[in-house]
Amino acid sequence: MDFFEVINKRASVREYQDRAIDAGILKTLVDAGSRAPTARGVEPWEFVVITRRQTLKQLAELVSPNGAFIGRAAAAIVVFSRDTKYFLEDGCAATENILLAAAAQGLGGCWIAGDKKPYAGAVGELLRVPAGMKLVSIISLGWPDTDAVQKKNRSGEDVLHWEQF
């Protein structure tokens, strides 16, 4: 799909068809995440791909009520990082790459907050992530029921300032 078509199409999708996502597509998404820019070239990220319904339901319990829909997702990609100075910048760039790659594949996805959330430690324990790793984000994924609509209240012109604020 054309790049700008993907940028204009990506939207937060929280309702999914009851249909699995091929492992090959999930690998493609993680590969896109791993191609994000990274401060000082450290590439501090790790991606846990979840397709087991039981684990998705356990995740849903941890991130409820806001993220409860992940219990009905076809898959999740959970983004962790070593605790570097710029782990959140690196991890969020990787998260956005994955969300865009999902849209490019026709998938719907939604970013569930990780860092600063009280459940961050419990998510790491559930997925057996080594202590000291930071939870960046949880991405729910699935085939959308209907075409998602990108909701924006501020246009590009609204947020652009030439030469100074």
Cβ closer to a second copy: 113 or 143? 113
Report in angstroms how near the CB of residue 76 gets to a second copy at its nearest. 10
- Of all helices (H) and strands (E), which one includes residue 57? helix 53-63
Q: How far is CA 72 from CA 20, 145, 156, in A?
A: 11, 13, 34
Q: How far is CA 141 from CA 36, 97, 100, in A?
A: 19, 14, 12
Report in angstroms how near the CB of residue 4 gets to a second copy at its nearest. 7
Report in angstroms how near the CB of residue 70 gets to a second copy at its nearest. 15
The pair phi, psi for residue 77, each rounded to 5°, is: -120, 120
Cβ closer to a second copy: 115 or 143? 115
What span, in angstroms and rounded, lies between the C-alpha atoms of 123 and 138?
9
Cβ closer to a second copy: 22 or 160? 160
Cβ closer to a second copy: 19 or 128? 128
Cβ closer to a second copy: 19 or 161? 161
Report in angstroms how near the CB of residue 131 gets to a second copy at its nearest. 11
Report in angstroms how near the CB of residue 146 gets to a second copy at its nearest. 19
Are 142 and 74 in contact, with CB atoms under 8 Å apart? yes
What span, in angstroms and rounded, lies between the C-alpha atoms of 122 and 107?
27
DSSP 41: G
